[in-house]
Structure 1
Amino acid sequence: MSTLHIESSKPVNTDQTLFEGLSDEETRSIEKTLVHKIDLHLISALFLLFIFNILDRSNIANARLGGLQNDLHLSDTQYQTTVAIMFVGYLLGQVPSNILLTRSKPSRYIPTAIFIWGGISLCTAATKNFAGLMCVRVFLGFAESPFFPGALLLISSWYKPSEIAVRVAIVYCGNTVANGFGGLLAAGIMSGLDGRGGLAGWRWLFIIEGAGTMVAGLVALALLPDFPSSGRQKWLTEQEQRLSEWRLARVVNDEVDENGSIMEALRDALIDPKAWILILIQVCQLSSQTWTYFFPTIAKTLGYSTNVTLLIIAPVYIFGFVTALGNSLIANYTDQRVVLIAWPLCVDIIGNIMVISSRATAVRYAGMFLMCAGSYSAFSVVQAWIASTIPRSRTKRAIVYALVNLFGNSSNIYGSYFFPTADSPQYRPGGITLSAFAAGGILLSFILAGYLHWLNMISKKAEQQDDQRRYKYIW
């Protein structure tokens, strides 16, 4: 492995047990203030931005209930294709974007992407037919590709592995907020503005949400930080800046979180078995979550009006928000991973069974709560597991995050065809398929846990032989 070099405003004090000669108590006090500042600037910004990210990605499902499919004369297959096509650009852009992010300023790169995708989403309101909608969705996918893998890379670059799960959960809860209250927002816009200015309500939905995203992109310029090693952030003192680098270096045998060679990092990522097992876990976990893009349509089978359907979606996502956050807090305080991925996926399977096997409204609606809680609660723990399993280098971690999200989000392409209208109202084939993926995620999680446990045993024996501390994997 080649020696890596990184520029910093001041050298990182990695050769001492204590930070700059301070006591543990003094260091913890400064560190607590530092983490609060990072939360305020990074996590609050990413949470807000992720809400707009999901709104612009999934508002097509709400617009379908508002007449988009009929107005554009789309068949079921054409509609499903417009949902799926966005993820082609989204997936293709992730790896090169994350590599570019390690060589650029995230505080400029990510907000620029957000502003562009907001403008593209707004253009959906001007589409007249299938071809126009397809064109917009392709460009939207490319424009959105830098955000989420870039956000995960930023989080893993500022926080210790033990701190990541709950932060990812908070950011990812923007997903549940967007999907839950997005239905309420869509109901208000499409009913209140339908026909205003000669435009259908669903067109106003894209105009308002797209414009909101562009404003959010401008706000992100003031909030998002760069990497800790990029130099002092304006909102940190010089001592806090040095501590931000020192505390992460202490996690991995005093190694600074460096960029490293792109080709070397790419090779290491592609030949690392841990990376591929994480990829497969993510594929299964996100495949089990593909009901999201059809949830308004699935919920409509309960027999309520469009507005009521959009309203009853919100409690489901609120429940998912609470359970996901609670599961991540447990992960944060216990450093457990496999159990906290397995039990939510079991709950997800139970929810799917309830939805597809019963015709009782109460049973099916309760099953939807379990589907949401299960599939969302596992996600943030998987993301935290990536950071602790691939700690160095930053470029390798960036590539692994991008690959995990690339392959994982490919589920949204084939998952777009899991719920054809012909399978209504219970969508049994789709529910069975999602349950099978959830079961696969459980099995693969235990396989990775066993592999990491074996690696820890090997490291422990090596430590006993040469008395040199080695990294311990969390499982």
Structure 2
Amino acid sequence: MTSKFVQYLRGDQNAPGERKLIQKLDFFILSFCCLMYFLNYLDRTNLNNAYVSGMKEDLNFKGNQLNQINTVFTVGYTLGQVPCNIALYYVKPKIFFPTCMVAWAGLTMATAGAQSPRSIMAIRFFQAIFESSTFVGTHYILGSWYTEKELGKRSGIFTASGLAGTMIGGFIQTGIHKSMDGRNGLAGWRWLFVIDGIITLPLAIYGFLLFPDTPKNTKAPYLTAEEKALAISRVPKVSQRTPISLTFLKHCFSTWYWYFFTILWIIAGETESFSSNALLALYMKSHPTNKYTVSQLNNYPTGVPAVGIVSTLFWATLTDFLGGKRYLVGYWIGITGVITSAMILAYPNSTSVHFGAYYWAGSVYACQATFFAWANDVLRYEEDSLRAVVIASMNMGSNAINAWWSIVFYGANFAPRFTRGMWAMIAVSIAMAIWTALLVWMQVRTEKRREVESAAVAVAEKEQNIAGVGEKGGNEIGEKV
């Protein structure tokens, strides 16, 4: 077991130069993608930080307008998923990713000048379209470079970077509120958006210069010709077809991959609702007896993404070590969702139980890394365009449901208990466990069929070679006669 674990940590990179190649890829791909996702989430989640730090009062928010803004963002984010991943098929990632970053940085800074909730809605819609490129686009890139034994860890590190943005955003808002509130006539929450936009731009420049694109079209100056050839040889050769054609669409919708993985992430996305809708912050803001300071409202909820980071790295590493058993996370999510919801329903007046349940629910974030790694694993032997569309469709489907799900079950006007949402969480958590089992069955069936087909091809090639040798021998005898 010890030797197996050491071999796992080394990545089982046995080809000459493979270890050095992986180190380069880890540095340049993960450094850019993780920082991009960190800033993406920082921009996205700081709206909630700003809301509890004075924006609600300054802009005179009413009812569930915050949820409406989040829904508008979700709509834009959903619409951008598939087009952005298809764009990566035609536009080099080193151009596409940084361009999107510059666009959303500008829109983030524009939020600082908003004078009403309605103006924020308009800004957030377009911001969401550009930000939609990051998550699914990175998972497509990771699946293009890394093998099945390497993918889980990298997906986990990438996902954890986004959670770090969620966690650190609260501390950043606290610091800005204390040090810059009122400076040059701007409230602290407005400075938050200005600073978020500015710090995004240097990373965009880094991406323009050094991002390696994909193995087939990379021109990265730090990769040798041998390393580029090795990178191509590490991933299976698959057929290619343009993703913008009727033939491709028919092929896409005739496979089980699109349906099963899209529904998987639709369910999984709603099991993240406690965290993605910032229920702990809303619970504290609307607490019937306790009154929390701005610092407490921003800092206490950071424990949720902290738990998510630990859980993500743990499950991503464990499922890699176990040979890609990503489905284990689906069962963990089912258990977590049922128990945490039941805790809140059973103890509606206990502040400590609510805090404990919301922190525990943060562990559900582990599904982001493992489920997209699962999709990359299963689709490794399919064409890249299909893999790109399935990965994008997963997130698109989840956000399409979440656009109305959050308002129906987790609107800010339901705070502090969200009773309706607790029952919804129990339902989707049970569905998560059932759907995970069905997907495992489909995967096993597909792998068995692929093995049979590979064996048949091998036998046919062997018979063809034998026939060729026999024919050659006969010709030689005939020539001698």
- Residue 289 of structure 2 is aligned to residue 289 of structure 1: no
2:64–2:413 Cα contact (<8 Å) kept: no
Q: C-alpha deviations, 1:242-268, integer Å up to 9, x for none?
A: 00000112xxxxx25746453243332
Within the alignment, does 1:262 sit opposite 2:244 as a pair?
yes
SS of residue paired to 1:128:
coil
Query: Unaligned regions of 5+ residues in structure 1, if any?
Result: 1-24, 250-254, 470-475
| Aligned counterpart, 2:234 | 247
Give runs of aligned pairs for residues 69-468 of structure 1, distance below 5 A. Answer: 69-249=56-236, 255-256=237-238, 258=240, 260=242, 262-263=244-245, 264-291=247-274, 292-295=276-279, 296-300=281-285, 303=290, 304-334=292-322, 335-358=324-347, 359-373=349-363, 375-391=364-380, 392-417=382-407, 418-463=409-454, 465-467=456-458
Q: 1:300 to 1:79 in 2, by over 3 A?
A: closer
Give the secondary structure class of the aligned counterpart of 1:355. Answer: helix
Return the offset for 1:348: 3.3
SS state at 1:66 partner: helix
d(CA) in 2 for partners of 1:63, 1:357? 32
Residue identity opposite 1:98 in structure 2: N
Give the Cα–Cα distance (whole angstroms) in 1 for the partners of residues 132 and 452 of structure 2. Answer: 42
CA contact (8 A) 2:264 2:432 kept: yes
CA deviation vs aligned residue, 1:367-404 (integer Å, no higher than 9, x gap): 1221001x211221110111122222111111111111
Inter-partner Cα distance in structure 2 for 1:166 and 1:159: 10
CA distance in 2, matches of 1:224, 1:152: 15
The CA deviation at 1:293 is: 3.0
Asked if structure 1 preserves the Cα contact closer than 8 Å seen for 2:63 and 2:413, the reply is: no
CA contact (8 A) 1:160 1:248 kept: yes
Q: Is the 8 A contact 2:52 2:294 kept in 1?
A: yes
Does the 8 A contact of 2:177 with 2:188 survive in 1? yes
- Report the residue type matching 1:447 in the other structure: L
The structure-2 alpha-carbon separation of the partners of 1:72 and 1:95, relative to structure 1 and needing over 3 Å to count, comes to same
Over 3 Å counting, the alpha-carbon distance change for 1:356 and 1:190 in structure 2 is farther
1:462 CA drift (Å): 4.2
Alpha-carbon distance in structure 2 between the residues aligned to 1:186 and 1:132:
21
- Decide whether aligned partners of structure 1 residues 138 and 182 sit closer, same or farther in structure 2, where only a CA change above 3 A counts: same
Q: 1-side partners of 2:27 and 2:341: how far apart?
A: 37
Aligned counterparts of 1:114 and 1:26: Cα–Cα separation in 2: 33
2:329, 2:263 → 1: CA distance? 17
Once the two structures are TM-superposed, the CA of residue 175 in structure 1 deviates from its matched residue by 2.1
Maintained 8 Å contact 2:66/2:412 = no
Which segment is superposed worse, 211-220 or 59-68? Answer: 211-220
Displacement of 1:324 after TM fit?
1.0
Aligned to 1:18: none
- 2:76 maps to a residue whose letter is G
Q: Is the 8 A contact 2:59 2:117 kept in 1?
A: yes
Aligned residues: 439
Q: Which residue of structure 2 aligns with residue 6 of structure 1?
A: none
The residue number in structure 2 matching 1:4 is none
Question: Secondary structure, in 3 states, of the residue corresponding to 2:220?
Answer: coil
CA contact (8 A) 1:88 1:138 kept: yes
CA contact (8 A) 2:333 2:429 kept: no
3-state secondary structure, aligned to 2:23: helix
**2:52 and 2:285 in contact (8 A); partners too:** no
Q: Is the 8 A contact 1:260 1:394 kept in 2?
A: no
Moved more, 324-333 or 72-81: 72-81
How big is the shift at 1:333?
Answer: 1.5
Structure 2 Cα separation of the partners of residues 465 and 222 of structure 1? 47
Give the SS at the match of 2:416.
coil
RMSD: 2.1
Secondary structure of the residue aligned to 2:234 is helix
Larger helix share, 1 or 2: 2
User: Are residues 404 and 77 of structure 1, via their aligned partners in 2, closer, same or farther at CA, if it must alter by over 3 Å?
Assistant: same
State the alpha-carbon separation in 1 of the partners of residues 402 and 330 from structure 2.
20
Q: Which residue identity does 1:275 align to in structure 2?
A: W
For 2:191 and 2:327, locate their aligned partners in 1 and report how far apart those are by CA, in whole Å: 44
Task: State how far apart, in whole Å, the 1-side matches of 2:171 and 2:362 are.
Answer: 17
TM-score, structure 2 normalization? 0.86
In the alignment, the residues of structure 1 paired with residue 143 and residue 365 of structure 2 have an alpha-carbon distance, to the nearest angstrom, of 20
Q: CA deviation at 1:433?
A: 1.4
Compare 197-206 and 214-223 and name the one that shifted more.
Answer: 214-223
Indicate the residue corresponding to 2:465 in structure 1.
Answer: none
The alpha-carbon deviation at position 413 of structure 1 amounts to 1.1
Letter of the structure 2 residue corresponding to residue 108 of structure 1:
I
User: How far apart, in 2, do the equivalents of 1:45 and 1:461 lie?
Assistant: 41
CA distance in 2 between counterparts of 1:433 and 1:50 reads 29
The CA distance in 1 between the partners of 2:222 and 2:346, in whole Å, is 54
What are the ranges of 5 or more consecutive residues in structure 2 without an aligned counterpart? 1-11, 461-481
Q: Which moved more, 1:46-55 or 1:220-229?
A: 220-229
Is the CA contact (8 Å cut-off) linking 2:334 and 2:429 kept in structure 1?
yes
- Alpha carbons of structure 1 residues 416 and 27: separation in structure 2 relative to 1, 3 Å: same
Contact 1:349 1:371 in 2 (8 A): no
Residue 366 of structure 1 aligns to which amino acid in structure 2? Answer: G
TM (norm. structure 1) is 0.87
- Residue by residue over 1:289-341, the C-alpha shift from the partner in whole angstroms, topping out at 9 and shown as x without a partner, is 12323242134456332312322222332222111101000111112121232
